[in-house]
Amino acid sequence: MTTTGYRSSLARTLMFALLYAAAVYAGRRTAMVADGVTLIWPAAGVAVVWFCAHRDAPTRRLDTVLLVVILGVGNWRTGAPWDVSVVAGFVGLIQVSLFQWALHRWRPNLWGAGGHEPLRSPRDLWVLFAVTVFTCVGTHLASMLGRVLVTGSLPVAVSAMALARHVASILIIGAAGIHLGARLSRWRDGPPLRRPSFWRAAEIGGIFALSIAGHLGAFAYEHGLPLSFALLGLTVLAGTRLRTPWVLLHNAVISTIAVQCTLSDRGPFAQVPDVGQRAVIVQLFDILVALVGLALALGRDERVTLLTALDEEKTALDTQKNLLTAVIDSMADGLAVIGADGRVTLRNPAVTELLGGCRSPDDALAGSDWYGLYHVDGTRYADEELAYLRALTGEDVRGVDMLVRNPAVPEGRVVRVTATALPHPDGTHSAVVLFHDVTAERRHRDELTSFAGVVAHDLLNPLASVEGWTAATLDALDGVPDHPCLDQAHADLARLTRASARMRGLIDGLLAYATAREAAVAASPVDLTEVVADIAQARADAAVAAGKPEPRFTIAELPPVQADPVLVRQLVDNLVGNAIKYTAPGVVPRLVITAATTGEMVTVRIVDNGIGIPEGQHDAIFGNFHRAHAGSAYAGTGLGLAICKRIVERHGGDISAADDPGGGSCFTFSLPAAAAAHPRLAPV
C-alpha cells in the first residue's frame, strides 16, 4: 500500500465520518421535535455506502471504530441514556456488517459487494430489497436483545418504526450510493459521460418541477384532501421517463419533502394522531416511492440495454449475412438449399448457370426432365434419384456425376453433385446441394486415357522390334571370334535389354491403367478365396524361380464378391505384388489376408511385414505415377495403386492404406458382396 493510497483512504474515511455524524444528528433531531420518536434515520444508508466504498480500504479498522464512536456519542449527546447509546453504537456496526455479508453472498457482482456493477435490472433491486429487509430484521433482533439486557423492557412499537425507517434509509441512500459509486468508479477510467440534449434536459427539468410541485401541493398546503395516492403517478412518470441516477435523485427529493412536511405537521400523513404510526406511514410511503420509481427505471434501463445489444447484434448479423451472400454469389460452384417440400430456399447464380439457365417457376423444384438431367452414360435420371431427395432420406451423396443436357447446353455438361442433409431445430431437414462443373476435367481425363492407350499400343510394336533385334544381335555375337570389343558389345546389349524390359513394364502399366478406366465392368460372383490362393501360389513360385525368399501367406476364409473377375485379379495381384516387393532385402515376406462383410460390402485387408509407407504419403500413393520410395532399389512405374483405386471405385468401393502396428503396411479395400442384389456400380 502506497502512502498516497493510504492518505486518500484516510481522507475518504474522514469525509464519510463527517457525513455520518451529520446524518446521525439529523436523525436524532427528528426525535427531538417529534416527542422522542426518531422519524428518519439517514445514518443507516450513509453507513452502508461508507462501508461499501471502503470494502477493501486500508483504513477499515478506523472506519469501524469511528462508526461505533460517532453513533454511540451521537445518541448520548442527543439525550439517549449512555448504556442505550453504547448498545446503539454496536448495533450500527452489526447492521453494516450484516448488509455487506448478505449483499456479497447474493449479488457479489455489485459495487461494494466485491464487484463493480451498478444496479442493472429490477432483479438487482429486489435482491437489494431482500438484503435490506434481512439486514434490518437481523439488526433489530440484536437491538431488541441489547435493549432488553440494558433496560429490561421491550418496546415493540418503537422497533417496528425503527425497522421501517432503516429499510427506507438503506433503500433510498444505499441504492443511490451503490449505483452512483459504480458509475463513478467507471467514469474515472471509462469513456466521458454524454451531455443530454437540450430537449432531454428540458424533459428532465420539467418532470422534476412537476413532481416537486405536485408533492409540495399535496404535503405543504392544508386542503384536507388525502391526495397522497395520486402522487405515485408522478413517481411512475419519473420512473418511466428518467434514467436510474435521475430517479434516485427524484426519490431522495420526494422523500425529503414527505418527511419534512410530516415533521412540521403538514400533509396527509400529519392527520394521523399517533406520532409513531405517522412515522411508520411516511416511511412506508418513502419505501413505496423508492421501489416503484427504481423498478420502473431499472426495467427501462434494462430494456434499453437489451435493445441496444440486439441492435448491435442485428447489425453484425446483417454484415455477416451480406458477406456470406457476396461470397456464395461469387462462387463458381453452384450451391442450393432445398427444403423437404421441394422449395429452393437458397440458390446462387452459379446453380442456374450450371443448369443451363433452367429455373423452375415459383422456386419449387421441377423434375429431372425440366432441367434435362441424365446419367453420364446417357440414360435418363429418374426423379427419385435426384441428389437432394436422397440427402433428405439421410443418404450422404458424394461426388455423383450427372449430365446436364438441354437447349441451352446441347453438347452436354457434366456436373459433380454432392448433397447432405441440413437438420433444423424444429426437427425438419433441408438438403444442401453443391454442383461442380467437371466437364473439362472429364474430357481431359478421357482424352488422356485414350491417348495413353493408343500410345502404349503404338509403342509396343517398335519395342518388340528393338527386343527382337537385340536378341538377334546377341545370337549373332555368339558366332563372332574373340575380339577386344566383344565384351563391351555384350555389356551394351545387356543394358539395351534391361532398358527395353523397363520400357515394356511401363507400357504394360499404361495399358492396364487405360483398360481399368475404359473397359466395361462385367460383374459376376467371384470366389475371392480361390483368386487370392491362386495369386499367392503364382507369386510364391515366381519368387522361388527368381532365387528370392519365398513369401508366406496366411489367408482367412474370404466371402465371395460381386465384381469383374479380371479386374479383381488385377487388383489383388497388384496389392500382393507390392507387399512382396516392398520388403527389406533378405526378409521373408509375410502376408495376412482377411475379410469381413459390412452391410452390402466386403472389406478385405492385406497386411504385410514390409518397409512401410513414408509418413504423410498414405493417400498420395494412389495418385498416377506417385512413387513413395522413388530412387531406391525398388523398381516400378507408380501406376499400380492408381489402377487399384480405379478398379475399386468402379465397383462402388473404397481403398486406403495405413501403417500396420506390427511394422509393415495394411491395405484395405471394399467390393460389393456377392449376395447384394444391386451392386453399386459407379457410372462411367
Residue the block writes with cell 466437364: 439
Instruction: Using alpha carbons only, give the angle 127, 49, 26 rounded to the nearest 5 degrees.
Output: 115
Identify which of residues 186 and 581 has a Cβ nearer to ligand ADP in the complex: 581
Q: In sequence order, what are the residues at sequence separation of 6 or more whose Cβ sits closer than 8 angstroms to the Cβ of residue 104?
A: 113, 114
Q: How far is the CB of 529 from ligand ADP (least distance, A)?
A: 21
Q: Closest CB to ligand ADP among 397 and 613?
A: 613
Stretch that binds ligand ADP, among 6-14, 394-402, 533-541, 605-613 (CB under 6 A): 605-613
Q: How far apart are CA 86 and CA 68, in angstroms?
A: 8
- The least CB distance from residue 663 to ligand ADP, in Å, is 11
**Residue 637 sits in the site that holds ligand ADP (CB under 6 A):** yes
- Out of 138, 299, 565, 638, point to the residue binding ligand ADP (CB under 6 A): 638
Burial of 277 (0-12, 13-18, 19+ CB in 10 A): middle
Question: Which CB atom, from 531 or from 621, has the smaller least distance to ligand ADP?
Answer: 621
Among 293, 551, 610, 652, binds ligand ADP (CB under 6 A): 610
452 binds ligand ADP (CB under 6 A): no
Region from 34-42, 52-60, 290-298, 575-583 binding ligand ADP, contact rule CB under 6 A: 575-583
629 touches ligand ADP (CB under 6 A):
yes
Coil/strand/helix, residue 381:
coil
Grid cell 517398335 — which residue? 462
**Cell numbers that stand for 415 in this block:** 456436373
Q: Does 639 bind ligand ADP (CB under 6 A)?
A: yes
Q: Does 627 bind ligand ADP (CB under 6 A)?
A: yes
**Cell triple for 606:** 492385406
The piece of 8-16, 65-73, 130-138, 620-628 that touches ligand ADP (CB under 6 A) is 620-628
Query: Considering the complex, what minimum distance in angstroms separates the CB of residue 621 from ligand ADP?
Result: 4
Q: Return the half-sphere exposure (C-beta side, CA atoms, 13 A cut-off) of residue 234.
A: 24
621 touches ligand ADP by CB under 6 A: yes
Least distance between ligand ADP and beta carbon 450 (Å): 21
Of 173 and 642, nearer to ligand ADP (C-beta) is 642
Match 416511511 to its residue by C-alpha cell.
283
**Angstrom distance (rounded) from CA 442 to CA 446:** 6
612/672 with CB nearer ligand ADP? 612
SS3 readout for 179-208: HHHHHHHHHHHCCCCCCCCHHHHHHHHHHH
Phi-psi region of 158 (alpha: psi -120 to 50; beta: other; left: phi over 0): alpha
Q: Is the dihedral of CA 567, 572, 575, 580 positive or negative?
A: negative
Class of residue 46 by CB neighbours under 10 A (exposed 0-12, middle 13-18, buried 19+): buried
Considering only 147-155, 324-332, 438-446, 640-648, which stretch makes contact with ligand ADP by CB under 6 A? 640-648
- Cα gap 233→211, rounded to integer Å: 9
The residue range among 323-331, 380-388, 628-636, 673-681 that interacts with ligand ADP, by the rule CB under 6 A, is: 628-636
H-type alpha helices, 107-174: 122-151, 156-169
Q: Does 404 sit near ligand ADP (CB under 6 A)? A: no
**Closest CB to ligand ADP among residues 605, 626:** 626
Q: Where is 644: in which H helix or E strand?
A: helix 640-650
Which positions from 647 through 676 interact with ligand ADP, judged by CB under 6 A?
A: 665
By three-state DSSP, how is residue 561 classified?
A: strand
Q: Give yes or no for residue 570 binding ligand ADP (CB under 6 A).
A: no
Least Å distance between CB 536 and ligand ADP? Answer: 15
| Rg of the chain in Å (alpha carbons) | 47
Comparison of 112 and 610: residue with beta carbon closer to ligand ADP = 610
- Residue 305: count of CB within 10 angstroms of its CB: 12
613 binds ligand ADP (CB under 6 A): yes
What is the smallest separation between the CB atom of 649 and ligand ADP, expressed in angstroms?
15
Per CB under 6 A, 535 contacts ligand ADP:
no
Q: What angle do CA 206, 209, 214 make, to 5 degrees?
A: 125
Cα–Cα distances (Å) from 488 to 220, 467, 482, 483, 497, in that order, read 134, 19, 12, 10, 14
Binds ligand ADP (CB under 6 A): choice among 63, 437, 564, 608: 608
Residue number with the smallest Cβ distance to ligand ADP: 636
CB of 505 to ligand ADP, least distance (A): 8
Binding mask 42-71 toward ligand ADP (x if CB under 6 A, else -) reads ------------------------------
Smallest CA-to-CA distance from 400 within 420, 426, 422 is with 420
Angle, helices 175-189 vs 122-151, to 10°: value is 130
Using the rule CB under 6 A, is 430 a contact of ligand ADP?
Answer: no
**Which region, judged by CB under 6 A, interacts with ligand ADP, from 26-34, 307-315, 326-334, 622-630?**
622-630
Of 40 and 611, which CB lies nearer to ligand ADP in the complex structure?
Answer: 611
Segment contacting ligand ADP by CB under 6 A, of 343-351, 391-399, 471-479, 634-642: 634-642
The minimum distance between CB 627 and ligand ADP, in angstroms, equals 4
CA atoms within 13 A on the CB side of 326: 6
**582 touches ligand ADP (CB under 6 A):** yes
Kindly tell me which residue out of 279, 421, 506, 611 binds ligand ADP, with binding defined by CB under 6 A. 611
Size of the site for ligand ADP (CB under 6 A): 21
Summarize as ranges the residues that interact with ligand ADP (CB under 6 A). 578-579, 582, 608, 610-613, 621, 626-629, 636-642, 665
